[in-house]
Amino acid sequence: MIGVQALEAEDRVIAEFFELFKIPWEFYRSGVPYDLVICSSRNMEQNSARVIVLYSSEATQFDDKTRGKLGSHSNVQLSYFGNLIPIYGRCLSFAGEANPLQIANGCGSAAREIQSGSQTIVRIGYDLFQEVGHLLQTGQPAVFGRFPTLELHIDYLRNLIVGHGITLFEIPPTPHGYNFTVCLTHDVDHFGIQNHCCDHTMLGFLGRAVFGSVVDLLRGKKAIRHIAANWWAVLSLPGVYLGIQKDFWQQLDRYVEIEKGLRSTFFILPQSDNPGRRVVGRVSKRRGAKYNLSQLRDQLLTLRQAGCEIGLHGIDAWVDEEKGRQELERIRDEINGLEVGVRMHWLYLDETSPQLLEKAGFSYDSTVGYNETVGYRAGTTQVFKPLNVGWLLELPMHVMDTALFYPAYMNLSPNEPSAIVDELVTNTQRFGGVLTVNWHDRSIAPERLWNGFYTGLLGNLRKRRAWFATAGDATAWFRKRRETVFESVSAEAGAAQLRVAPNPKDRALPGLKLRVCKPSSHPTNGAAGDRAEKQILDFPLENPGFVNVTI
């Protein structure tokens, strides 16, 4: 069992951190024997734990006693076994220490280790829970978006625990039988060019399809077949407006064909010609949709028959509880469903939005992500609970088509995103969690024609043994994991006992698994926490009730 001694103000952050790093822990109680104590308080209470991990960016009583030479730094990145970990608060360095946790710009070690009798004290120079709170509430700037920072904090702590000879029991964020989870999502912003006659959207399409395609061809961003498809679409426009030719922007049924039973989630705008509002200032009229829900009824039925999920692409829900409730009811009326998730149009969100969305009645949100890049705005691959809500869960978005290809954003050629997105896929396979992809409704149609990269991505993901889940099922699985409680653990007896929560009603979800990380029989320096020096055992946890595992 791990004890956590911290300031009371950090309690919510600590509780959420240990939902993401799902191991046996409790808030520190005096006199209780612990294998390891994590302390983020300047005044560390004496205890009998084998290992004490002391996090602080300020000098502590321990530093006063050991008289180590300290340096103080800001805006640094830590280097740990080839990984870079951005630190958003201050960080101390410890002179003369040879530790694998280094400040990347050559300012020295960010950790030190001292043996005091039978007790080991690991002193780390940043505030773990302040860093976690920053990631979950404020998020990372786009420049550090591709760093899975929160997962790297977990990885470092996990390696440190096992590296000091402590057997670690964990319920990883990975369904039993799979390597990770994938959520394919689609924001439906337009649904048909027929809704756009002689407006800004149609004129923009004509310019990009006729002239922009030629420029893209010369720059190697499009092939001749793309030019032909775009010009043919332009020539077919009169027939589309007259209703005698198929609207080439109506692509929802084609997604069902491309994804072949992978059950994606479509976020639908609740009403037309409503650009919504900001907290301060006016919103561009272009934010308002031109389609009505009544136009989509046949397509929504087809999607639901294919096992896909329908969610809300919210307009004002992020800033107005009552408007959010009204938008939610419009979607509920169309799909006759109770649980509805949301992703805000244009990714509008602020610090009060999670509370408003929860009060309006949404089961989850999937807005936390970047418009301008790909990666981990909250630093995590996992579904998490925002710190100011009771039960709403956040499914972070990691990859969006417009971020990859828009000239104003990453502006990549068709083949360039492969290495970038593959890095995110590899991270999710390594740490577990979810890779959430957002491909807009018209992105596989002229003039974008981004279907080539998307189908290639699906092929890659299929090979990686991923669970393809709707956004609702993915958040339900993580809710099930959160409800699982370690009742007692006894590594010394070679056994673990825990209570497993039952599946939520009416959902056939994959099971959980218990992961046991056993230290090497020939442990290395605990501070190094060599990832290779441990044995990993996985056990399925598919049934509710008490489970005993022998290791």
Using a 10 angstrom Cβ sphere, with 0-12 exposed, 13-18 middle and 19 or more buried, the burial of residue 137 is: middle
* Residue 62 to residue 254: CA distance in whole angstroms: 63
Structural domain boundaries enclosing 240: 193-248
Domain-ending residue, one of 138, 170, 202: 170
For residues 494 and 477, the answer to whether their CB atoms sit within 8 Å is no
**Do 79 and 120 sit in the same domain of this protein?**
yes
For the segment 144-167, the average pLDDT, to the nearest whole number, is 96
**Do 243 and 257 sit in the same domain of this protein?**
no
Q: How confident is the model at residue 531 (pLDDT cuts 50, 70, 90)?
A: very low
- Asked whether residue 352 is assigned to any structural domain, the reply reads yes
Q: How confident is the model at residue 95 (pLDDT cuts 50, 70, 90)?
A: confident
The residue among 320, 319, 318, 312 whose CA lies nearest residue 271 is 312
For residues 110 and 92, the answer to whether their CB atoms sit within 8 Å is yes
Instruction: Read off the DSSP letter of residue 503.
Output: P
Q: If DSSP codes are grouped into helix, strand and coil, which group holds residue 393? A: strand
* Residue 260 to residue 263: CA distance in whole angstroms: 8
Report pLDDT for 414.
86
Residue 506 has pLDDT above 70, yes or no: no
Helices (H), 4-52: 11-20
**Do 390 and 502 sit in the same domain of this protein?**
no
Name residue 129's beta-bridge partners: none
Give tens-digit pLDDT for 217-271.
Answer: 998 888 999 999 999 999 999 999 999 999 999 999 999 999 998 999 999 999 9
**Do 138 and 204 sit in the same domain of this protein?**
no
Give tens-digit pLDDT for 366-387.
Answer: 999 999 999 999 999 999 999 9
**Do 365 and 430 sit in the same domain of this protein?**
yes
**Do 360 and 239 sit in the same domain of this protein?**
no
- Asked whether residue 408 is assigned to any structural domain, the reply reads yes
User: What CATH number has the domain bearing residue 433?
Assistant: 3.20.20.370
* Residue 268 to residue 280: CA distance in whole angstroms: 25
Give tens-digit pLDDT for 407-461.
Answer: 999 999 988 999 999 999 999 999 999 999 999 999 999 999 999 999 999 999 9
Q: Which phi and psi angles does 320 have, rounded to 5°?
A: -145, 110
- Asked whether residue 186 is assigned to any structural domain, the reply reads yes
Query: How far is CA 262 from each of CA 308, 383, 495, rounded to the nearest angstrom?
Result: 8, 20, 38
- Parallel, antiparallel or unpaired: strands 309-314 and 485-490: unpaired
For residues 76 and 106, the answer to whether their CB atoms sit within 8 Å is no
DSSP letters, 395-412, are ----EEHHHHH-TTTT--
DSSP letters, 144-179, are GTT--HHHHHHHHHHHHHHHTT--EEE--SS-TT-S
Report pLDDT for 415.
85
Report pLDDT for 282.
83
**Do 209 and 314 sit in the same domain of this protein?**
no
User: What CATH number has the domain bearing residue 141?
Assistant: 3.40.50.880
**Do 127 and 206 sit in the same domain of this protein?**
no
What total number of domains does the chain contain?
A: 4
**Do 129 and 264 sit in the same domain of this protein?**
no
For residues 467 and 173, the answer to whether their CB atoms sit within 8 Å is no
Give tens-digit pLDDT for 78-89.
Answer: 999 889 999 999
**Do 355 and 440 sit in the same domain of this protein?**
yes
Domain-ending residue, one of 439, 464, 489: 464
CB atoms within 10 A of CB 383: 28
- Asked whether residue 470 is assigned to any structural domain, the reply reads no
Q: How confident is the model at residue 504 (pLDDT cuts 50, 70, 90)?
A: low
- Asked whether residue 473 is assigned to any structural domain, the reply reads no
**Do 392 and 524 sit in the same domain of this protein?**
no
Domain-ending residue, one of 107, 135, 170: 170
- Asked whether residue 469 is assigned to any structural domain, the reply reads no
**Do 118 and 17 sit in the same domain of this protein?**
yes
* Residue 11 to residue 30: CA distance in whole angstroms: 17
- Asked whether residue 85 is assigned to any structural domain, the reply reads yes
Using a 10 angstrom Cβ sphere, with 0-12 exposed, 13-18 middle and 19 or more buried, the burial of residue 502 is: exposed
- Asked whether residue 109 is assigned to any structural domain, the reply reads yes
